[in-house]
Structure formats: structure tokens, C-alpha cells
């Protein structure tokens, strides 16, 4: 039997990362993670929840439409965290596939559909609850449940403060099920001088948890004072 890994890259089976974008504030985090995956040469299956489209419109002015998702995604990913358009250019979106959040027959809804894992960025408390309770009320929640049952990597970048007791219980449930609970909490030791640096730190930590290489932030090397120096 032929080993798929031995085939040329263009002939290997597509095995994407699923990226779920929920309705929590923090669409720049999602954009940074998507750019990081694309820059790493990874394929992406994108699920943008209905609630997140309202957040995206509010935070960026961009309408994300199923019928024009490619153009809307390109506009979104080109935008910097400070709101400036065309900050990031030259992104190759050919490896990105979009699935409607209401499509429960989509590929990521089945465990037999090959994926590397899933990142929910940002993760609202509602999406956290839905995944923890196994509600599968939309494709984002269903894909996350499938990721857990198949023992694949699931990174949940929760973006909410303060957290109530019920949400904390849901996060413990996800941790016990094998997910990585990753609060969208930027650090300052990497020498951030711009809002994009803070966003990229969180995105980089999410990619670290998924095992995807990147160069989004300066890593700690055991030397005090580096965060106050010009990179």
C-alpha cells in the first residue's frame, strides 16, 4: 500500500486545521491565528458563527457573507489590529475552505473527515458552554465535539472577563476532556510596542498549543530587561 506521506505535496491528502470564530470580542485574534496558519503552509477549514459576524461587523466594519466569503476574508485578514486596511498583503488563501455555521452536514461535523485539530479563537462563554455540554447547536460546536471525541487537539482561546463560576466549571470540563484552555491574555515581556504585538502574542500562544511553528512574538530566553529594549 502506498504511503500518503511519501507522495509529492500536491498529491497528499488535505488535512486542515479547523478554525472556529465565535461571537466573543476579539476578531483580531482570529485574524492573527489564520494568518499564522497560512504563513506556516497549513490548510484551514473556517467556521464563522452567526454571532461572530455581528462582532466582526462591529469591530471592523466588515460584513462576512457566505456567498462572498473569500473576498470578505481577504479584506479581514489584510486589516491590522489597529484598524488600518491593507496592513497585511500577499496572503495565499487557496488553502482555506469555508463552511457555513449552519451546515451540520459539513466535513468537520464527522470524525471520519481528516483534520489535524481545531482552534476556537476567540471563544465566547456561550461556545464554551455548548462544547462542554455537547450541545452541537451549530457547526462550530459540533466540530469541537468531534475534535474531542477523536482525541485531536482542541485549543479554546476564551475571551471574557470576569468569569463566573458556571463558565469556570465548563472550562474545567474542557480541560478534563483534553482541550487546551488558553485565555486571550497578552504578556508584556516580549517588548510589545503596538497593539498588533499584543494580539500576535495571544495568537502565537494558540499556535504553540497546536504545535504549529510561527514567528509571531519574541520568546522568553531567561534574560531580564529584554521587554524594555527595541526588538
pLDDT in tens, 150-194: 999 999 999 999 999 999 999 999 999 999 999 999 999 999 999
Which pLDDT belongs to residue 167? 98
| Closest C-alpha to 29, from 153, 203, 212 | 203
Q: Can you state the angle between helices 139-149 and 125-132, rounded to 10 degrees?
A: 50
The stretches in the chain having pLDDT less than 50 are 2, 231
**Strand ranges across the sheet with 44-48:** 96-100, 44-48, 17-21, 117-123, 153-158, 180-181
CA distance 193 to 209: 24
Q: How far apart are the first and last CA of the chain?
A: 50
Which pLDDT belongs to residue 83? 97
Strands (E), the chain: 17-21, 44-48, 96-100, 117-123, 153-158, 180-181
User: Is the bond into 162 cis (omega within 30 degrees of 0)?
Assistant: yes
pLDDT in tens, 134-146: 999 999 999 999 9
Which pLDDT belongs to residue 57? 98
Ranges of H-type helices in 87-138? 125-132
Which pLDDT belongs to residue 11? 62
Which pLDDT belongs to residue 22? 98
Here the cell at position 15 is 488535512
Amino acid at each position: 500500500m502506498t504511503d500518503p506521506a511519501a507522495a509529492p505535496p500536491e498529491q497528499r491528502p488535505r488535512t486542515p486545521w479547523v478554525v472556529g470564530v465565535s461571537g466573543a470580542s476579539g476578531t483580531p485574534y482570529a485574524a492573527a491565528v489564520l494568518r499564522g496558519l497560512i504563513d506556516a503552509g497549513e490548510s484551514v477549514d473556517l467556521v464563522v458563527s452567526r454571532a461572530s459576524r455581528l462582532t466582526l461587523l462591529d469591530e471592523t466594519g466588515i460584513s462576512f457573507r457566505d456567498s462572498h466569503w473569500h473576498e470578505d476574508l481577504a479584506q479581514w485578514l489584510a486589516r491590522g489590529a489597529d484598524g488600518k486596511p491593507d496592513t497585511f498583503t500577499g496572503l495565499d488563501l487557496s488553502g482555506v475552505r469555508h463552511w457555513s455555521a449552519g451546515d451540520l452536514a459539513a466535513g468537520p461535523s464527522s470524525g471520519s473527515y481528516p483534520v489535524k485539530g481545531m482552534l476556537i479563537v476567540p471563544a465566547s462563554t456561550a461556545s464554551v458552554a455548548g462544547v462542554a455540554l455537547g450541545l452541537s447547536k451549530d457547526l462550530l460546536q459540533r466540530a469541537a465535539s468531534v475534535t474531542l471525541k477523536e482525541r485531536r487537539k482542541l485549543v479554546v482561546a476564551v475571551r471574557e472577563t470576569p468569569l463566573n463560576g458556571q463558565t469556570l466549571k465548563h472550562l474545567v470540563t474542557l480541560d478534563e476532556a483534553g482541550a487546551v484552555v488558553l485565555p486571550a491574555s497578552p504578556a508584556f515581556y516580549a517588548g510589545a510596542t503596538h497593539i498588533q504585538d499584543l494580539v500576535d502574542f495571544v495568537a502565537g500562544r494558540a499556535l504553540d498549543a497546536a504545535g504549529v511553528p510561527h514567528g509571531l512574538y519574541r520568546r522568553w530566553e531567561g534574560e531580564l530587561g529584554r521587554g524594555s529594549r527595541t526588538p
